Structure 1
Amino acid sequence: MKYSRKQITKAGEKLLTSKSQDEIDEALVLINDWRTSHLFPLVTLKNSLLRLLTKVKIEPILVSQRLKRLTSIEYKLDMNPTMGLGGMQDIGGYRCVVKDVKDLKKLDKALAEQRIAHKLEKIVDYAQKPKHSGYRSIHFVYKYSSKKENYDGLKLELQIRTKLQHNWATAVETAGIITKTSLKSNQGPDEWLNFFKVVSSLFAIKEKLPVMDEHLVLSMEDLMVKVYNYCQELNILPKLKAIRVSTNKIETENIAGDYYLLNINIIKKIVIINTFKKNQFEIASNEYLRLEKSINENENAVVLVAAASIKTLKKAYPSYFLDTSEFIQSIEKMNTNSQRLNLVN
């Protein structure tokens, strides 16, 4: 790697604790340079994944990649003070969403058996054993191997999940904007946290996966009633519908690029998109950092991602467009069934 893990960790500590703006700016330059170095390995591993998907005959719903946002880095460091930035394994992340659990298990097996030059350091199966928040996915952590010093030893994380699990995760991130908390990290109002846990178990029943431990004694009907009641009490669905960012004009403009820098204004419900070619990734990364330093976290979200088009970008990261339409459809169907079966008054 271009920097040692000790250097990176020290920069992360300065970012969180230094009272000197010059020190913070110096740390940000180093962190951004290190973050940018993950782009090339990400492309390499994503292409390896695409070849594997073809080999095992899995048609993915989507495959995407992104660099971790500065606000997410700071939050994770704050929540895990003993970890250190040098130990963070998802600065460069890529994702594959598949149709169902059958494809998920098939891909999980293929990845575990795949022989590549890069070391598979860890597999964590949150699909079978969800996080306390209800989050489900399978994570693969790789240590990149390269003759080029800048890339050798970098850690990257692959997440694979079903479409239903992806819809759940998208809704949690979007709802976090409504509650102004990190629901995905199990932080926030208990009612909202409990709602998503119940939905996680209901989705698990549909996918024939284990429910959350706290729901083992409840029937599917009990869980459906809980979802219905939470929706009524918290006005959840109208709130999710109300903050969606309109992208109709953007999608018809056919904006082409390899990297997309999104600046989403949550208050005005608009998104500004800058596009960059592959050979402009350093320019894109520097602009990413500039925007991150200038935004109001409660009003804006900025992220740099790679995608084939705006449509695939929106499909891969609906949470960045505050789009929970598929999740809402699932919940509305549950609520309708609850009423039809006379489970609620």
Structure 2
Amino acid sequence: MIYSKKQISKAGKVLLTSKSQEDINIALDIINTWRTSHLHPLRVMKNALLRILLNSSINPILVSQRLKRLSSIEYKLDLNENMGLGGMQDIGGYRVVLKDLKDLIKLQKTLEKPNRRHKLERVVDYVQTPKKSGYRSIHFIYRYSSKVEKHDGLKLELQVRTKLQHNWATAVETAGIFTKTSLKSSQGPDDWLEFFQVVSSLFAIKEELPKLEIHADKNMEELMVYCYNLCNKLNILTTLKALRVSTNKIETDNFPGEYYILNINIKEMKVQILIYDKKEYERATREYLRLEKSITEGENAVVLVLASSIKSLKKAYPSYFLDTSEFIQALEKINRNCETLKLVK
């Protein structure tokens, strides 16, 4: 790594505690340089994953990559006082979404085999043992090995989840933007947290996975009624349907690029997309940091992602477009079944 773990952690501490703008700017430059160094390893690891999927005859719904947002870094550090930035494992993150649990288990078994080059440091299974919020995914944390100093030793996190689990996570992130809270970290209005916990357990029943512990004594019909009532109380469907950002009809493959910066204006429901080719990664990361310094939390959000086209970008990161279409469809089906089975009046 170009900076030691201690240097990175010190920069993270300055970012959170310093009152000197000059010191903060120096810390931001260090953090951004270190964050940018994850881009090449991410590309290498994603390509390796694609080969594994092909050799395993698994057809993914999507594979995506991203660099962690500065606001997310600050939030995570603030939430975990004893965590140093140098030890954060998901600065560089990539994700694969699979059709169903069968494909997920098949890939999990393959990935858990020893990696001949990059060390698999840890596996966290939130599918069988979900978070309190209802979040489900399997996290694989790798330590990247390279002869290039700035890349050697970097940690990367791979998230593996099913399409249904991805739809849930997308809706949670979108609702979190709307409520201006971190619902995915179990922070926010109790009713909204309850709603997503109930849906998580309903989705778990569909995938034949364990329900959340708090729903251990409830059957599917009881959970459906619970979901139906919260849906109406919070006006969930109307709210989520209204939260869809305009992309100015650019959902085509006519915008080739490698790096995309999404600058989301939550108040105006618009997103500005900046496109950079493979050779422009330094310019892209500089602009990313500049925009991050200028945003107002709760009103704007900005993220740098890697994708092959605008179309694939929106498919991979629907929450950044506040698009929860597939989650809404699942919710409407639950509510229709409640009415058809006359579980509610």
Shift, 1:253, TM fit? 7.4
Q: Partners in 1 of 2:269 and 2:196 — Cα distance?
A: 24
Q: How many residues align?
A: 345
Percent of aligned pairs with the same residue? 69
Q: Report the equivalent of 2:27.
A: 27
Q: Deviations over 1:129-187 (max 9, x none)?
A: 00010000000000000011000000000000000000000000000112111000100
| Corresponding residue SS for 2:221 | helix
TM-fit CA distance, 1:248: 5.4
Alignment of 1:200-279 (within 5 A): 200-247=200-247, 249-252=249-252, 254-279=254-279
Equivalent residue, structure 2, for 1:63 = 63
Q: Show structure 2 runs of 5+ residues with no match.
A: none
CA distance in 2, matches of 1:252, 1:49: 26
State the Cα distance separating 1:116 from its structure 2 match.
3.3
**RMSD of equivalent CA atoms:** 0.9
TM-score normalised per structure 1:
0.99
User: 1:115 Cα shift?
Assistant: 3.0
- How far apart are the structure 2 equivalents of 1:156 and 1:215? 33
Letter in 2 for 1:274: L
Distance of 2:248 and 2:60 partners within structure 1 = 24
> Where does structure 1 lack aligned partners over 5 or more consecutive residues?
none
Which deviations, in whole Å up to 9, do the C-alpha atoms of 1:307-335 show, x marking residues without a partner?
11111110100000000010000000000
> Runs ≥4 in structure 1, deviation > 3 angstroms?
none
Task: Tell whether the 8 Å contact from 2:252 to 2:310 is kept in structure 1 after alignment.
Answer: no
Distance change in 2, residues 1:220/1:248 (3 Å):
farther
In the TM superposition, residue 106 of structure 1 has moved relative to its aligned partner by 0.4
What amino acid does structure 2 have at the position aligned with 1:296? T
Q: Secondary structure at the match of 1:273?
A: strand
Mapped partners of 1:295, 1:246: distance in 2: 19
TM-score (norm 2): 0.99
Q: CA deviation at 1:252?
A: 4.0
Partner of 1:331: 331
What do the CA deviations read for 1:15-53 (whole angstroms, capped 9, x no partner)? Answer: 000000000000000000000000000001000000000
The letter for the 1-side match of 2:329 is Q
| Alpha-carbon distance, 1:278 to partner | 1.1
**126-135 or 248-257: which moved more?**
248-257
Bigger mean CA offset, 246-255 vs 297-306? 246-255
Map residues 70-85 of structure 1 onto 2, 5 A cutoff.
70-85=70-85
- Report if aligned partners of 2:252, 2:311 keep a CA contact under 8 Å in 1: no
**Whole-angstrom distance in 2 between the partners of 1:233 and 1:156:** 40
Structure 1 distance, partners of 2:109, 2:269, is: 41
| 2:120 match: secondary structure | strand
The one-letter code sitting in structure 2 at the alignment partner of 1:36 is T
